[in-house]
Amino acid sequence: MHGWEYWFKIQLVPASGRQITVNPRGCRMKRRACVVCETNEFAQQYCHLQDQDYLRCDSCGLIYVDRLLKPEELYKAYSGNSFKSLRRKLTAPFRKFSWSKSFDKSMRRARGIFEFGQKQVTAGGEKRRYMDIGCNKGFLLATAHKHGWDVYGIELVRELIRPFINSYPQYSKQVFSERFEDAKENVEKASFDLITAIDVVEHFEDVSGDLQGIYELIKPGGVFLIQTPDTACERAEREKCGWGALKPLEHLHLFNCENFTSLAKRAGFSKIECFAPFEEADGNFVAVLRK
């Protein structure tokens, strides 16, 4: 073996046998740890997409981005292209909630999700309290309001939720346009009967911390309901790097029922059940987490 070959080999395969990523400048970079197993020992490169590496943990199956970008870079991906975003900004102050495109269809979908969640709740109390994280245009909030609940929402893109607030001004102080970790400071702990995050937990940067935060907000007997892409779905297995749920600027952690259950238990949830998704899309699962 030539000297340089030997040097190169020891750089790439350390004594532990753990592989190390080498960046374009040749510096060694440690792979990010799996948030479920809390180690990078089992992390393998899964797919390189849009200048980002997705890793897969060989121990629990979590698929996750190797590098978490700064929030400013991540949130650019949410407001859509600049023309659409500008048009939305200009019209949002005047728009009413019911003017939304496919309003009836969206409300039907929201009713199905909300009524499923409502059935899972065993906590008592008169006026029930609901929060939707990533509430988008507010279809779930409007549905919960119709069912007599007090509603709270979190939506990073303010213009999206503005028409809902125009139509339901009583909730203007209960809809927050900030990250969950900041928004949670505005509400009372152990006060929510139901919290939903539909197609949202995959966007969380600190998914473990946010799950603990959500657990703290829920009442005993209350429920956290999620839908998220399922890495165990047939499309993920078949399409690998072409799987539609892989969007490295938006979907930072992709779970299956088992690894999500482990993480949720660590956050404090006592009983976790997985269900078939509300919609298949790119392959999803639903989970009900009880406090």
CB of residue 59 to Zn ion, shortest distance in Å: 5
Distance CA 121, CA 116 (A): 9
- Of the listed pieces 51-59, 127-135, 228-236, 249-257, which binds Zn ion according to CB under 5 A? 51-59
Q: Compute how many residues bind Zn ion; rule: CB under 5 A.
A: 7
CB of residue 258 to Zn ion, shortest distance in Å: 10
Site for Zn ion in 229-288 (CB under 5 A): none
Does residue 60 touch Zn ion according to CB under 5 A? yes
Site for Zn ion in 23-42 (CB under 5 A): 34, 36-37
- Nearer CB in complex with Zn ion: 34/197: 34
Does residue 218 touch Zn ion according to CB under 5 A? no
Does residue 121 touch Zn ion according to CB under 5 A? no
CB of residue 259 to Zn ion, shortest distance in Å: 6
CB of residue 44 to Zn ion, shortest distance in Å: 11
- Nearer CB in complex with Zn ion: 191/208: 208
Contact in structure between 251 and 283 (CB atoms under 8 Å): no
CB of residue 34 to Zn ion, shortest distance in Å: 3
CB of residue 39 to Zn ion, shortest distance in Å: 8
Does residue 57 touch Zn ion according to CB under 5 A? yes
- Nearer CB in complex with Zn ion: 37/160: 37
Binding site for Zn ion (CB under 5 A): 34, 36-37, 57, 59-60, 62
